[in-house]
Structure 1
């Protein structure tokens, strides 16, 4: 996964997922970044590249992710049909 400036300048690469990254979102305040992957995980990052947490509760690929408007909740959707 890579973070870019709008002008195309690479800011940093973030490594941690073992398979293809499917979705990436910033929290409403921009202080957190969440990513999903075919490795069945959700990862929570600081924008500086620090991995804060890995959520492994899904049994299949995590297809989508979203922060609540206040940024206090994180929702994930998976091919394992959980909600």
Structure 2
């Protein structure tokens, strides 16, 4: 299955992001950002399904929670950055 990782600047920011999405009915899971995509060394990401990304970005925009970066996690395990 294909997922998107919404990279957040801190654990607290990731928790706020996941909470906003969950309140809107979008399943969101917090995880440490994989080393392949983590430039700073300690960021956290929120994982959402492929079909939920557009709605998730609208919700986050309304809540004032801007993602640092977004990555597509493909079925083969690779990552590709997606423009905002």
TM-score by length of 1: 0.30
Larger Rg: 1
TM-score (norm 2): 0.29
Q: Taking CA–CA contacts closer than 8 Å with sequence separation of 6 or more, which of the two structures ends up with the larger relative contact order?
A: 2
Larger helix proportion of the pair: 2
